[in-house]
A and B are shown apart, each in its own frame.
Chain A
């Protein structure tokens, strides 16, 4: 992360992406075959069409990138492929344990969602030629984001599943609009903050060495806070509320470079937590479960967290092997607890591998934010990367007892269409921004041109691509 100025003659790196992509596909297929060998003793019968389809699917994204975003980051797509694939394998493995075969299986639906998600990502790459176009829709995305966020509260279409009212029903399908609200809000925050950052970062009073903002500039953060509180109180969704508010504070900090915003954000967060703990037994129980997941009372109330931990522990260092453990003993093993499910069968080595893949994903996002030249792009890239990292921290931290458990999906892995679609769109946006970040500038900058009179090299690069 030391280079901020791109070299004059960048390589597209599409070849490296292809190699990584083939490796990613190999890992996923190996995992799938291992699962079936362990469970049934046979190689899956439909391996040729499904493996072929999966390969064609991700390779098509690769080809679109060659065509439409040649300088896009080469690591994001392979990582997404592995994570999505391993999620599919685990869902398929839980289908086998539950006797849900063929088109009855969750894996079948997840494959369809994956296909749609890839199609949506490709569409984003086609339609969105430059991420800066999104800035035009700053206030449209604000409205869209708020509406999506509050949609589950609308009577008639909002639905409560497992205690949280974060779903809507449209026809035969259930959606979690919050997943898309995340993207809309990230775009809105980026557009809004890029406009107002000067005011928010310069004006203020100095107290104890920190420059605190003027009272009237507190408006935006208070609006974000109230919105998060609404989600918290009416949708009973601590995880989403924390994610939105954390995303806003992080982007605000990046836009203004002011630590005081973080301090204010933490204070507001603490106030919200104190309020939630005193007002809702629901949250008290969560904290109690977090502190003592193995007490007899808590095991009787909910053994989900304990079961996930026991699953991970039974995997140990090397894991039981795919298909050879008992992840099905944990409820929501295919959604909120998919990470413990994989940890049980792949062991600590597998868990670390998965976390490191996510870390690499976010690191590529950060690198994109550093590399892209416009402020909007920087904010959007860091916002999207941080939202993935923070969401992952909330859900995996929840199942490994770093923080109390709050339901959120694991990006790319959890069963569920909304999450999959939204995260593929995030990846497509990051690809688009990274293409802008790494693409050589149309005209040679003056300073650089003076230092390096090397037109021959430039033409060379053009010829190679």
Chain B
């Protein structure tokens, strides 16, 4: 009977081999993907019980993990409640971290980033508890508070940039929400808060500065002016452009009128600078006809339209449609017809003009530090995204935008003793609702320290440029003052 016993022993060996292979597959080959599964409670508990890095603004934590005596060991808290909610997002046991830096910079905050590998190894050897990296932001608390206060109960967004570096100084989106209940360890409370937030009709969870896409309205005329100057259609701010009360659009029966139904200057003509001051639709519409859709689109692309940016949160892509026919190009030239831009994108337009035509890549993370505050990575030197216009064109546009604030629709953005450049906008989006009010600006005009874009949803007055100037410009002024008073 020994032969069949030996053969059966081979079968037994095969059974055991199967078990050894299966264990290796589960614990080694597939371990990483198993651990990464969303419904895996162990992974979530792991990241909870590890001390997550803080998010710091000007030395103060706006998101931090405090030790508590329960099974999760650390509670994520947001000391400033609503002020930085859309920037930080939240870190919830009930729903994870779907938004903001908590989502986009999760690997740094949790300590799992590849750049932290060496640290993790030394932690493993020394037996120290691995903790996440601390992230220091570029935000300026004064600018942030000013923007938050000025925007008040309006729905909308404010974003401020340092034109020379691309550092984001303020990022405010209203309505906001309090992330603290969402990160509560009382799961019922967290689930209820999530239920309320995720079904909020005003979409408070949305960071409108980077994920709100709006028709930019008249603020886009700056881009059209840039394209006209760059392509030589006009030579400088004093060039004469047509300015009739109504522009006859080819191929269609509809015309493009000025909001007030009047001509923009004597003899149905005006200068480029005056056209921008009073936001003359027919002047820019006719520039659009002359330039054609592709040149406008190309100029917009140089300002960053069409780019998928990550700051590290994903920024929605701003766009000018391709293959525009003549009437569509005229509409696009005044920021209508499916032209869409995020507030950050329009702030980049202002910042690019402010920075002598050079658009800097926007960023939010100033530096990354380990738990004991050694710098792991500081933001490398500012990176240019593109040279959007020549220095010459930039200075012409600056002159024109200064004039908008000094003599035109942007008067409410004036600051005593500081030269401010700006452009108002009123963007129709829904025939039944008031238009969105826009304002983009930078200051000081000669040595810019801050560029701002403001959008107030439904904040304009139909048929008038007043909305952008009256509602949005003062908000931009508050933010610029806050930055300049540093």
Question: Which residues of A line the B interface, CB within 8 A?
Answer: 1, 4, 250, 253-255, 257, 294, 296, 299, 303, 306-307, 309-317, 326, 329, 343, 347-348, 351-352, 355-356, 358-359, 362-363, 366, 369-370, 375, 378-379, 382, 385-386, 389-390, 392-393, 396-397, 400-402
> Given A253-B8, A389-B16, do A313 and B2 touch, yes or no (CB 8 Å)?
no
* Apart from the given pairs A303-B39, A397-B15, 7 other A-B contacts in the complex at a CB distance below 8 Å: A310-B34, A312-B26, A314-B43, A343-B27, A348-B28, A363-B9, A393-B19
In the complex, A378→B5 CA distance in Å? 8
Interface string of B13-25 (1 = CB under 8 A from A): 1011011101111
Does B4 lie within 8 Å of A254, measured CB to CB? yes
In the complex, A223→B76 CA distance in Å? 64
Does B26 lie within 8 Å of A309, measured CB to CB? yes
- Shortest beta-carbon distance, A426 to chain B, in Å? 15
Could you say which residues of chain A place their CB within 8 Å of the CB of B16? 355, 358-359, 362, 389, 392-393
- Shortest beta-carbon distance, A257 to chain B, in Å? 5
In the complex, A312→B23 CA distance in Å? 8
- Shortest beta-carbon distance, A253 to chain B, in Å? 6
B113 close to A (CB within 8 Å): no
- Shortest beta-carbon distance, B188 to chain A, in Å? 20
In the complex, A4→B2 CA distance in Å? 8
Does B18 lie within 8 Å of A393, measured CB to CB? yes
- Shortest beta-carbon distance, A324 to chain B, in Å? 11
B41 close to A (CB within 8 Å): yes
Does B12 lie within 8 Å of A362, measured CB to CB? yes
Does A370 lie within 8 Å of B2, measured CB to CB? yes
- Shortest beta-carbon distance, A3 to chain B, in Å? 11
Q: Can you name 28 A-B pairs with beta carbons within 8 Å?
A: A303-B39, A309-B34, A310-B42, A310-B43, A312-B26, A313-B27, A314-B31, A314-B35, A314-B46, A316-B28, A317-B27, A326-B45, A343-B23, A351-B27, A355-B19, A355-B20, A359-B13, A363-B12, A370-B5, A379-B1, A382-B5, A389-B12, A390-B15, A392-B15, A396-B23, A397-B19, A400-B23, A400-B26
- Shortest beta-carbon distance, A328 to chain B, in Å? 11
In the complex, A347→B23 CA distance in Å? 10
In the complex, A355→B20 CA distance in Å? 7
Could you say which residues of chain A place their CB within 8 Å of the CB of B392? none
Could you say which residues of chain B place their CB within 8 Å of the CB of A402? 18-19, 22
B372 close to A (CB within 8 Å): no
Within 8 A of A (CB), among B288-333: none
Nearest B residue to A403 via CB reads B18
Nearest A residue to B14 via CB reads A393
Nearest A residue to B26 via CB reads A312
Does B23 lie within 8 Å of A311, measured CB to CB? no
Could you say which residues of chain B place their CB within 8 Å of the CB of A392? 15-16, 19
In the complex, A164→B40 CA distance in Å? 28
Could you say which residues of chain B place their CB within 8 Å of the CB of A250? 8, 11
Nearest A residue to B23 via CB reads A351
Within 8 A of A (CB), among B243-258: none
Nearest A residue to B36 via CB reads A313
Counting contact residues on chain B (CB < 8 A from A), the size range is 35 or more
Does B8 lie within 8 Å of A382, measured CB to CB? yes
Question: Which residues of B line the A interface, CB within 8 A?
Answer: 1-6, 8-9, 11-13, 15-16, 18-20, 22-28, 30-31, 34-35, 37, 39-43, 45-46
In the complex, A401→B34 CA distance in Å? 13
In the complex, A347→B13 CA distance in Å? 22
- Shortest beta-carbon distance, A221 to chain B, in Å? 16
Could you say which residues of chain B place their CB within 8 Å of the CB of A4? 2
Could you say which residues of chain A place their CB within 8 Å of the CB of B9? 1, 363, 366
- Shortest beta-carbon distance, A72 to chain B, in Å? 19
In the complex, A254→B34 CA distance in Å? 41
In the complex, A369→B39 CA distance in Å? 48
Does A348 lie within 8 Å of B24, measured CB to CB? yes
Please indicate which of the listed interface residues A250, A296, A382 has the most CB atoms of chain B within 10 Å of its own CB: A382
Nearest B residue to A4 via CB reads B2
Could you say which residues of chain A place their CB within 8 Å of the CB of B5? 254, 366, 369-370, 378, 382
> Given A1-B6, A378-B1, do A313 and B31 touch, yes or no (CB 8 Å)?
yes
Could you say which residues of chain A place their CB within 8 Å of the CB of B8? 250, 253-254, 366, 382, 386
Could you say which residues of chain A place their CB within 8 Å of the CB of B45? 326
In the complex, A4→B1 CA distance in Å? 11
Please indicate which of the listed interface residues B6, B20, B35, B42 has the most CB atoms of chain A within 10 Å of its own CB: B42
In the complex, A378→B23 CA distance in Å? 32
In the complex, A393→B16 CA distance in Å? 7
Could you say which residues of chain B place their CB within 8 Å of the CB of A355? 16, 19-20, 23
In the complex, A375→B4 CA distance in Å? 12
Does A310 lie within 8 Å of B37, measured CB to CB? yes
Contact of B42 among A326, A343, A379 (CB under 8 A): A326
Could you say which residues of chain A place their CB within 8 Å of the CB of B25? 400
Could you say which residues of chain A place their CB within 8 Å of the CB of B11? 250
In the complex, A307→B45 CA distance in Å? 13
In the complex, A347→B27 CA distance in Å? 7
Could you say which residues of chain A place their CB within 8 Å of the CB of B39? 294, 296, 299, 303, 306
Could you say which residues of chain B place their CB within 8 Å of the CB of A379? 1
